[in-house]
Amino acid sequence: MFELLNSHYNYFAVMLLLGIGLYMLIESRNLVKKVIGMNIFQTGIFLFFITLAFRTGGNPPIIKEGGGPYVSPLPHVLILTAIVVGVSLTAVALALIIRIYTEYGTLDEDKLKQLYYD
């Protein structure tokens, strides 16, 4: 078990981050905190990708004479764009939250449910 932890530590962190994000998405009653949870979940997946791209003794993928070996550039590109798309997603979610607040006057999930069904 300790061997595994020593050679796969980032993957354990990924799974824990996914768990924390999921917990916030399910359990937080405040909508803003749900969005924070979604971001933590997202970052967990990013960590998974970047860890897979890493190799011991690798250099950043900036090609130069005798610079190798390099880490894999492809996951970096995917995550780079995913981060920027993530902030756009968050911004739209926050705009919706502001809209919900002006309509209902609360961000509490339970109160919103009550107001919606009344």
Partner 1 sequence: MTLSLIEGLLLVFVLGCAIGAAVLRDVLASLMAFAAYSLGISIIWVMLEAPDVGLTEAAVGAGIMTILFILALANTVRPQENGLFESLSVRTVVLVGAFVVVMVATVPSLPAIGADGAANPVVSGEVTQHYIDNAYADTEVKNAVTAVLAAYRGFDTLGEAVVVFSAGVAALTVLRQEVFA
Partner 2 sequence: MSSDERTGLYVESTIIMTTVRVVAPFVLTFALFVMFHGANSPGGGFQGGVIAGSVVMMLAFAYGIDAAREWLDVRVVAALASGGVLTFAAIGLGTIVLGGNFLEYHLYEQFISHVVAYAIELVELAIGGIVASVAIGLFFLLAAGFGHAVDAPEDES
Q: Which of residues 69-98 bind partner 1 (CB under 8 A)?
A: 69-77, 79-81, 83-92, 94-98
Report the alpha-carbon distance of residue 92 to residue 98 in Å, rounded: 10
Q: Cα-flanking dihedrals φ and ψ of residue 55, to 5°?
A: -135, 145
Tokens representing 34 are 């749900």
Whichever of 7 and 88 has its CB closer to partner 2, that residue is 88
Residues 13-72 that bind partner 1 (CB under 8 A): 13, 15-24, 26-28, 30, 32-33, 35-37, 39-40, 43, 46-47, 50-64, 68-72
Binding status of residue 5 toward partner 1 by CB under 8 A: yes
Q: How many CB atoms lie within 10 A of CB 80?
A: 12
Contact 37, 25 (CB under 8 A): yes
Query: Max CA-CA distance within the chain?
Result: 70
Taking residues 31 to 70 in sequence order and writing x for each that binds partner 2 by CB under 8 A, - otherwise, the string is: -----------------------------x-x--------
The residue whose two tokens read 């550039």 is 73
Residues in contact with partner 2 by the rule CB under 8 A: 60, 62, 80-81, 83-84, 87-88, 91, 94-95, 98-99, 102
